[in-house]
A and B are shown apart, each in its own frame.
Chain A
Amino acid sequence: MRALVVDDSKAIRRILSQMLSSIGFEVSEAAHGKEAVEVLAASDPFDLGLIDWNMPEMNGFELVCEIRKNSKYDNMRLMMVTTETEMSQVVKALEAGANEYVMKPFTKEMIYEKLSLMGLPVSP
């Protein structure tokens, strides 16, 4: 399984990458939406994208729209990583094709529970 973690915070990227690596995901990172688009274009398909809402260059919503425009990524599950104040905008992302959301502060268990909801394996 391959995952792409997109967040402008290096600390959050590191935490999420560790959580995913420990259950067997091969993880790539991008610091904003535009970089994510470049990583996507240059790599094999990903099974999962964890996407922050508020990022420079291209925000999470724009990235979801960009990904969902391309049928090549139809099988990629997208989860928004969000805060309570961003929730109303996250609804727009869900309507635009994101599959799930997780709210900060999150625990490892919460991330794994959401992966299960999206039908992804959570055992190492």
Chain B
Amino acid sequence: MAISTGDFDFIRKLVLERSAIVLEPGKEYLVESRMLPLLHKEGLESIEILVGKLRGGTKNGLADLVVDALTTNETSFFRDIKPFEALKGHIIPDIIEKNKTTRELTIWCGASSSGQEPFTIAMILRNDFPQLLNWKINFISSDISREMLQRCRAGKYSQLEVNRGLPAMLLVKFFERVGTDWKVKDDLLKMIQFREINLAEPFPVLPKVDVLFLRNVLIYFDVEMKRSVLGKIKRVLKPEGYLFLGAAETTMNIDASFERLPLPQSGCYQLKG
């Protein structure tokens, strides 16, 4: 989905006025990728239609959603907080109990993008579950984009990227300042194996997964591809493993083998019975 110069300029101006964040020309891809989940959620077909509504002022609150999508979501650690609360409060304690004899935990982030999600999970494991220090942790984080994987392996973030969502204590504990940027400390970086995996293709051989994060990925696929990806997930997930999808995503009407768990706003699923 390409964005026209006029629409890009309109959104740039809106974001600048409301958040003081400057989107330089060349960031069109960012606007396009961030708007996709919003379009989906709002039932709009294109950025052009979205900008039309913004210009007409016909929908209250839409401008806030646009600014929010561009300034907080994908660039922030602990994005949407609820899935991470569920992970910390229920899921990891449950797995620690279930796997206490094998002392092995396998986590897979299926679309790590620029790395905030896997590093958030790694911080939770290190900070809140010291008993896992002598477990074998298989932590795989994958993306289709080599550029994104390079970013993840470097573990480097700008001040703007760490400003929101990430508690200051975790910033100081798990990052070191390099110039004006922040770099993930080696201990945390080494926990994670970054791999190039295209979800649309057959999955490589992976250990059976206890927790799979696949948030805001399925929305990019058509129904057939969603079904195919969920089918492959069923084979890689442990029978009692957990699957996290994005807030606007569901397995409903695509694959009946999953059920949503009653953990508020976490988008967490398990295989039925």
A residues at B contact (CB < 8 Å): 84, 87-88, 91, 94-95, 98-103, 105, 107, 110, 113, 117
Task: Tell me the minimal C-beta distance from B177 to chain A in angstroms.
Answer: 6
Asked whether B30 is an interface residue with its Cβ less than 8 Å from the other chain, the reply is no
Inter-chain CA distance A107–B72, complex, in Å, is 12
> A100-B168, A117-B167 known; 12 other A-B pairs, CB under 8 Å?
A84-B180, A87-B177, A91-B172, A94-B172, A101-B168, A102-B163, A103-B159, A103-B163, A107-B18, A110-B163, A113-B164, A117-B168
Question: What DSSP secondary structure best describes chain B's contact surface?
Answer: helix
Interface contacts (Cβ under 8 Å), in number, total 32
Inter-chain CA distance A117–B167, complex, in Å, is 6
Q: Which of B20, B164, B165, B177 has the most CB of A within 10 A?
A: B164
When C-beta atoms are compared, the residue in chain B nearest to A88 turns out to be B177
- Do A100 and B167 form a contact, CB below 8 Å, given A88-B177, A95-B172? yes
Q: Which residues of chain A come closer than 8 Å to B169, judged between CB atoms?
A: 94, 99
| A84 and B168 form a contact (CB under 8 A) | no
Q: Which residues of chain B come closer than 8 Å to A113, judged between CB atoms?
A: 164-165
Q: Which residues of chain A come closer than 8 Å to B257, judged between CB atoms?
A: none
Indicate with 1 or 0, residue by residue over B163-179, a CB within 8 angstroms of chain A CB atoms: 11101110110000100
| B177 and A99 form a contact (CB under 8 A) | no
Indicate with 1 or 0, residue by residue over B42-62, a CB within 8 angstroms of chain A CB atoms: 000000000000000000000
Asked whether B150 is an interface residue with its Cβ less than 8 Å from the other chain, the reply is no
Inter-chain CA distance A50–B167, complex, in Å, is 16
User: Can you report 28 residue pairs joining A to B where beta carbons are below 8 Å apart?
Assistant: A84-B159, A84-B180, A87-B159, A87-B177, A87-B180, A88-B177, A94-B168, A94-B169, A94-B171, A94-B172, A98-B168, A99-B168, A99-B169, A100-B167, A100-B168, A101-B168, A102-B163, A103-B159, A103-B163, A105-B20, A107-B18, A107-B19, A107-B20, A110-B164, A113-B164, A113-B165, A117-B167, A117-B168
Inter-chain CA distance A110–B163, complex, in Å, is 9
Q: Which residues of chain B come closer than 8 Å to A95, judged between CB atoms?
A: 172
